[in-house]
Amino acid sequence: MKQLFLDGSQSFSKRNQPYLAYVSKVEAMDLSHPRILHSHKDIVEIILITSGHDEIFIDANQYPIKKGDLLIYNSGVVHDELFQNEKNPIALYCVGIKNIHEEQLPANSLIPESFSPIFATKACFGLLMHLFSSIFLLVDDPFVHYEIAVQNILAALLEIIKTTILADTVSLPNRKNEESAILQSIKRYIDQHFSEPIQLQYLEENWHISRYYLSHKFKEAYGYSTIDYLNRRRIGEAQTLLLNTKKTITEISLAVGFNSAAYFNNVFKRNVSLTPKEYRKRYLK
């Protein structure tokens, strides 16, 4: 993965228009070091799958994805980029955008919560591929006032997505029942409090549910036990802090909820196949 940040983005934030925060390119060789469960505050991510096929966890669902798909994550939506198809691996471009304001939607949201986050680009794929790659190349090898060119391409990208891709939308079915509502409530609590010392006993007592039954049903619904989900949320946030801050590894381990730096290192390497230090050195550009 190569993630690049736009130096001049702050000048656009004052103009009340969407602006690029970062652009990423992920190739097949990066898939052995996954981007674990995480979300983005005040950022909408748009991803174009450029090759391969696999599955991806978004919010509370597992989705099949393939070349030509466009993925949209509203601000705050939890996602887990754990790709495992080695025969036809995923490659993608990603743009992180700030200051999106759409009518009748929360700030930094591009689609309603009821929409599926996966869209087929069909005949627009070639054009979108050109726009994504142009943004990446401009930020990777900047020239004087390159930010203006990036901003113009981003505006074109958003316009095409909103007027063409989002015109063909699919709402997710409402599958809520009492049990799923409880599980969603617990998941939401973990997502909001993962950096705190969460105890299974608290979940058990607050939601009146056996920890063993909870762990089984939680894994059945989301693919991870409650403990695994909690640890993956912490590791995902740690990945963000490793790349976006200058905090020490010990400071990061404490910030995401680990009391022991050694345990944090072990859990991080088990999930990402690199230590936190190795991850920062490899992907910090």
- Region 164-190: mean pLDDT is 79
Starting at the edge strand found earlier in the chain, the sheet holding 53-58 runs: 35-38, 79-81, 53-58, 61-66
**21 found inside a domain:** yes
Same domain, 59 and 199: no
**273 found inside a domain:** yes
- Region 214-237: mean pLDDT is 94
Q: Residue 131's pLDDT band (boundaries 50, 70, 90)?
A: very high
> In the prediction, which pLDDT does 34 show?
87
CATH code at position 211: 1.10.10.60
What is the extent of the structural domain holding 224? 178-283
pLDDT exceeds cutoff 90 at 21: yes
Same domain, 132 and 228: no
Cα 206-211-213 angle, rounded to 5 deg: 115
pTM above 0.85, yes or no: yes
Same domain, 17 and 70: yes
**247 found inside a domain:** yes
CB contact at 8 A, 109 and 44: yes
Give the chain as a 3 state SS string.
CEEEECCCHHHHHCCCCCEEEEEEEECHHHCCCCEEEECCCCCEEEEEEEECEEEEEECCEEEEEECCEEEEECCCCCEEECCCCCCCCCEEEEEEEECCCCCCCCCCCCCCCCECCEEECHHHHHHHHHHHHHHHHHHHCCCCCHHHHHHHHHHHHHHHHHHHHCCCCCECCCCCCHHHHHHHHHHHHHHHHCCCCCCHHHHHHHHCCCHHHHHHHHHHHHCCCHHHHHHHHHHHHHHHHHHHCCCCHHHHHHHCCCCCHHHHHHHHHHHHCCCHHHHHHHHCC
Q: Which domain-ending residue is among 140, 165, 190?
A: 165
- Region 256-265: mean pLDDT is 96
Same domain, 217 and 146: no
pLDDT exceeds cutoff 80 at 8: no
> In the prediction, which pLDDT does 200 show?
86
**172 found inside a domain:** no
CATH code at position 51: 2.60.120.280
Same domain, 110 and 147: yes
Give the pLDDT confidence of 47-97 residue by residue, as tens digits. 999 999 999 999 988 999 999 999 999 999 999 988 888 889 999 999 999
Same domain, 157 and 24: yes
Mean of the per-residue pLDDT values of the chain: 91
Same domain, 264 and 242: yes
Q: Residue 171's pLDDT band (boundaries 50, 70, 90)?
A: low
**170 found inside a domain:** no
Q: Which domain-ending residue is among 133, 165, 197?
A: 165
**100 found inside a domain:** yes
Same domain, 59 and 147: yes
Same domain, 34 and 157: yes
Same domain, 102 and 200: no
Q: Residue 270 is which amino acid? A: R
Structure tokens given for 274: 């690199």
pLDDT exceeds cutoff 80 at 15: no
Same domain, 126 and 218: no
pLDDT exceeds cutoff 60 at 104: yes
Domain count, the chain: 2
Same domain, 143 and 12: yes
